[in-house]
Amino acid sequence: MKLFKKSKEKTELELIMEQAHIHEISGWEKLKHAETWKHIFFRFFTYLLLFSMAFVFLYPFLFLLTDSVKSLADLTDITVKWIPTRGLRWVNYKYAWQELKGPVTLPNSIYMTGMATFIHVISCSFIGYGFARFHFKGSNLLFGILVLAMVIPLQVMMIPMFILYSNVFGWTNSMKPILIPAIFGYGLKGGLYIFIFRQFFV
């Protein structure tokens, strides 16, 4: 009888422990389930924010893309916003290629931008390395002037630069206004590139 009673007590104890273990597992599963939903909501709002920001940046490009295949009637019709109602005019690209003289202007653009970019990267990297590793009297002043040059808007500099390059140096209708300033790290965004390289080499 005592043995039977002990085995019965043991069985009851095991049942209690099993129930406690089940409750523990169910509680952990609930917590895990809550964490999963929290993760899902976080990912959802993250992607929603990213898609919203992407749409803000892509909106002008999409608008130009739809306008490029519209007919003249669709372009002048204020009721037509996105989808052309009079068909897609892919021939517009052919007309643009012919009017802009694509076979001539495209290779020239690739050559000019490629050369200017290559020269700019080389010159700005040297200048940025000099600002980062060589400290001399007046280096901070020069770097401050460089930072101030970054603040000046491009629109303020365009007319004086054109007058300088055309009337003083006579560089009109040539690649000199693009390549020669790039050699000395003085391009449209030369100050920014020098600043980036300087921060990289520090």
Concatenating the DSSP letter of every residue in 36-103 gives: HHHHHHHHHHHHHHHHHHHHHHHHHHHHHHHHHT--HHHHH-TT-SSS-SS---THHHHHHHHHTTHH
Q: What is the pLDDT of residue 110?
A: 92
- The verdict on 106 and 196 lying in the same domain is yes
69 neighbors 88 (Cβ within 8 angstroms): yes
What are 176-202's pLDDT values in tens digits?
888 888 888 887 778 888 888 988 988
Tens digits of residue pLDDT in 31-50:
556 667 777 788 888 999 99
At residue 34, the pLDDT reads 61
- For residues 92 and 68, the answer to whether their CB atoms sit within 8 Å is yes
Query: What pLDDT shows up at residue 50?
Result: 92
> Does 85 share its domain with 144?
no
**Among candidate residues 99, 116, 148, the one where a domain is terminated:** 99
- Alpha-carbon span 84 to 139, nearest angstrom: 58
Last residue of a domain, one of 15, 45, 68: 68
Domain, as residue range, for 82:
70-99
CB 199 within 8 A of CB 125: no
Q: What is the pTM of this model?
A: 0.60
Query: Same structural domain for residues 169 and 124?
Result: yes
Average pLDDT over residues 4-30: 52
Question: Are residues 36 and 93 located together in one domain of the fold?
Answer: no
Q: State how many domains the chain has.
A: 3
Instruction: State whether 147 and 74 are in the same domain.
Output: no
Q: What's the one-letter identity of residue 179? A: L
Q: Are residues 105 and 197 in the same domain?
A: yes
Radius of gyration for the alpha carbons in the chain, expressed in angstroms and rounded = 34
**How far is residue 70's CA from residue 162's CA, in Å, rounded to a whole number?**
36
80 and 144 belong to one structural domain: no
d(CA 91, CA 97): 10
Residues 54 and 135 grouped into a single domain: no
